């Protein structure tokens, strides 16, 4: 039974690592027969994991999203990685939620893993002079993300702004903002909604910690193009002007936006993208003092990335690689 449980854990870990697995390849990786793989897949389905059989010359399996969250099974490395990520989470408005999630994950860990996590004693340092990051309501983030995907108008009350008062005396009130939501962006440690304000007939950036959603979804809308066609650049323009001598580049990083956002710095914007077949992705726009300096900033995140542009950034990466090879040789 212990051997079977361990094999199920290994099978689930493999299914989570890539989109499609040929049955013969899974059998080779697990050191069992294809028939045993089929039985193990049936056991995972009984536990609530939606594993689909794929057709084709090889035949195989795919783990897909389900209607319910089945019991989470993590191997040792995955469990430790999740705990470390939660300990070091400093994304705007997620610190408390991360600590609660860490307590939940730790509670179901075996004793050997709890000892490893407790021994880490990780501290995420921050500038004591920096203002505290405001909490963000996670239901609001989820609701806005859903409205963006569905292209539905949302209404909310906003704590800042120049919404005119309607009426006079005790009956006076401020009507809610009506916007077409387009992007959720993190910048400078805060969450922002980039949206088209229907009443002002113009684009706006809204701090999410300052808005309170009204209930009910609005009508569908046809997506507009963000000014300049670049949401990250549009958000950065709302902050203090970047030095005219700065250079700016863009890349897609193979990691979640909320993992990298705390380390982006003042002159960068990270935007969440839909997950690819090989895992999570985010789009990042950075400004720096030089092209090689910008290349070094991207390498600092320690995750794979794809350069979007411009060509000067690719050339700078080659220069940085050559310098690194020379330094390593010396």
How far apart (Å, rounded) are the C-alpha atoms in residues 308 and 126? 31
Q: Is residue 124 part of a domain?
A: no
- For residues 203 and 278, state if they share a domain: no
**pLDDT confidence of residue 317:** 92
Q: Are 291 and 313 in contact (CB under 8 A)?
A: yes
pLDDT digits (tens, 9 = 90+) for 184-209: 887 766 788 889 999 888 888 888 88
Q: Are residues 249 and 207 in the same domain?
A: no
Residues 252 and 298 in one domain: yes
What stretch of H or E contains 134?
Answer: none
**At a CB cut-off of 8 Å and minimum separation 6, what does 193 contact?**
144, 179, 181, 183, 184, 185, 205, 206, 208, 211
Tell whether pTM > 0.75. no
Give the lowest-confidence range in 79-83, 242-246, 250-254. Answer: 242-246
Q: Residues 47, 92: one domain? A: no
Q: Are residues 296 and 322 in the same domain?
A: yes
85 against 323, higher pLDDT: 323
In this predicted structure, the answer to whether residue 314 has a pLDDT above a threshold of 80 is yes
Average pLDDT over residues 13-20: 73
Does a structural domain hold residue 71?
no
Nearest residue to 277 (alpha-carbon basis) of 71, 72, 64? 64
Domain boundary among 207, 228, 249: 228
Q: What pLDDT is recorded for position 152? A: 92
Of the two residues 222 and 64, the one the predictor is more confident about is: 222
Is residue 126, in this structure, part of any structural domain at all? no
Position 234 in a domain: no
pLDDT at 228: 79
Q: Is residue 289 part of a domain?
A: yes
Tell me, yes or no, whether 70 lies in a domain.
Answer: no
Residue 121 pLDDT > 50: no
- Which of 181, 205, 228 lies at the terminal end of a domain, its last residue? 228
Q: How high is the pLDDT of residue 180?
A: 94
Task: Give residue 2's pLDDT.
Answer: 38
Q: Kindly indicate the confidence band of residue 215, based on its pLDDT and cuts at 50, 70 and 90.
A: confident
Q: Tell whether the model's pLDDT for residue 57 goes beyond 70.
A: no
- 19: three-class secondary structure by DSSP: coil
Q: What's the chain's average pLDDT?
A: 76
Whether residue 208 is found in the same domain as residue 277 = no
Structural domain harbouring 93: 76-118
* pLDDT score of 298 more than 80: yes
> What is the percent of the chain where pLDDT is above 90?
9
Whole-angstrom Cα distance, residue 260 to residue 270? 8
pLDDT of residue 247: 80
Cα(first)–Cα(last) distance of the chain, in Å? 54
92 and 55 together in one domain: no
Distance CA 235, CA 254 (A): 22
Same domain, 263 and 313: yes
Judgement on whether residues 145 and 204 belong to the same structural domain of the protein: yes
Domain count within the chain: 4
Q: Domain end: 228, 250, 270, which one?
A: 228
Whether the per-residue pLDDT at 1 is higher than 50: the answer is no
Q: In this structure, is residue 254 part of a structural domain?
A: yes
What CATH number did the domain enclosing 302 receive? 3.30.70
Going by pLDDT thresholds of 50, 70 and 90, the confidence category of residue 251 is very high
Average pLDDT over residues 267-291: 81
Q: Is the pLDDT of residue 242 over 50?
A: no
The residue among 126 and 181 whose pLDDT is bigger is 181
The CATH number given to whatever domain includes residue 184 is: 2.30.30
What value does the mean pLDDT take over residues 271-294? 83
**pLDDT value, residue 11:** 81
The answer for 93, left when phi > 0, alpha when psi is -120 to 50, beta otherwise, is: left
DSSP-derived 3-state class of residue 311? helix
Mean pLDDT of the region 294-316: 89
What is the band of 60 on the pLDDT scale with cuts at 50, 70, 90?
confident
What's the rounded Cα separation, in Å, for the pair 138 and 97? Answer: 9
Element (H, E) at 283: strand 282-288
Whether residues 92 and 143 fall in one domain: no
In a domain, 129, yes or no: no
Give the residue, 194 or 87, on which the prediction is more confident: 194
Q: What is the spatial distance between Cα 162 and Cα 169, in angstroms, rounded to a whole number?
A: 19
How confident is residue 163, by pLDDT bands cut at 50, 70 and 90?
low
Half-sphere exposure of 9 (CA within 13 A, CB side): 14
Task: Read off the pLDDT band of 305 (50, 70, 90).
Answer: very high
Residue 189 confidence (pLDDT): 65
If one compares 276 and 205, the residue with the highest pLDDT of the two is 205
What 3-state DSSP class applies to 70?
coil
308 shares a domain with 255: yes
């Amino acid at each position: 039974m212990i051997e079977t449980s361990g094999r199920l854990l290994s099978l689930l870990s493999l299914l989570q690592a890539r989109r499609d697995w040929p049955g013969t390849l899974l059998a080779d990786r697990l050191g069992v027969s294809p028939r045993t793989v089929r039985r193990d897949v049936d056991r995972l389905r009984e536990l609530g994991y939606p594993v689909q059989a794929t057709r084709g010359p090889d035949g195989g399996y795919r783990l897909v999203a389900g209607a319910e969250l089945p019991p989470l099974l993590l191997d040792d490395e995955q469990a430790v990685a999740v705990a470390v990520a939660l300990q070091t989470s400093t994304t705007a408005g997620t610190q408390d939620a991360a600590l609660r999630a860490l307590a939940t994950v730790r509670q179901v860990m075996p004793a050997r893993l709890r000892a490893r996590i407790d021994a880490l004693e990780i501290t995420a340092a921050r500038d004591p002079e920096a203002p505290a990051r405001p909490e963000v309501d996670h239901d609001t983030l989820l609701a806005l993300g859903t409205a963006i995907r569905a292209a539905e108008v949302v209404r909310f009350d906003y704590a800042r702004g120049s919404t005119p008062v309607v009426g006079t005396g005790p009956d006076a009130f401020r009507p809610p903002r009506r916007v077409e939501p387009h992007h959720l962006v993190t910048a400078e440690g805060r969450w922002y909604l980039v949206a088209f304000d229907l009443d002002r007939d113009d684009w706006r950036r809204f701090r999410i910690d300052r808005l309170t959603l009204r209930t009910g979804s609005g009508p569908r809308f046809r997506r507009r193009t963000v000014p300049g066609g670049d949401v990250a650049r549009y958000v950065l323009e709302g902050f203090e002007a970047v030095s005219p001598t700065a250079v700016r580049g863009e890349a897609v990083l193979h990691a979640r936006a909320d993992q990298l956002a705390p380390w982006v710095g003042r002159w960068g914007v990270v935007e969440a993208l839909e997950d690819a077949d090989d895992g999570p992705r985010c789009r990042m726009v950075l400004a720096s003092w030089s092209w090689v300096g910008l290349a070094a900033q991207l390498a600092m995140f320690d995750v794979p990335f794809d350069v979007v542009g411009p060509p000067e950034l690719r050339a700078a990466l080659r220069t940085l690689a050559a310098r690194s090879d020379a330094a390593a040789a010396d």
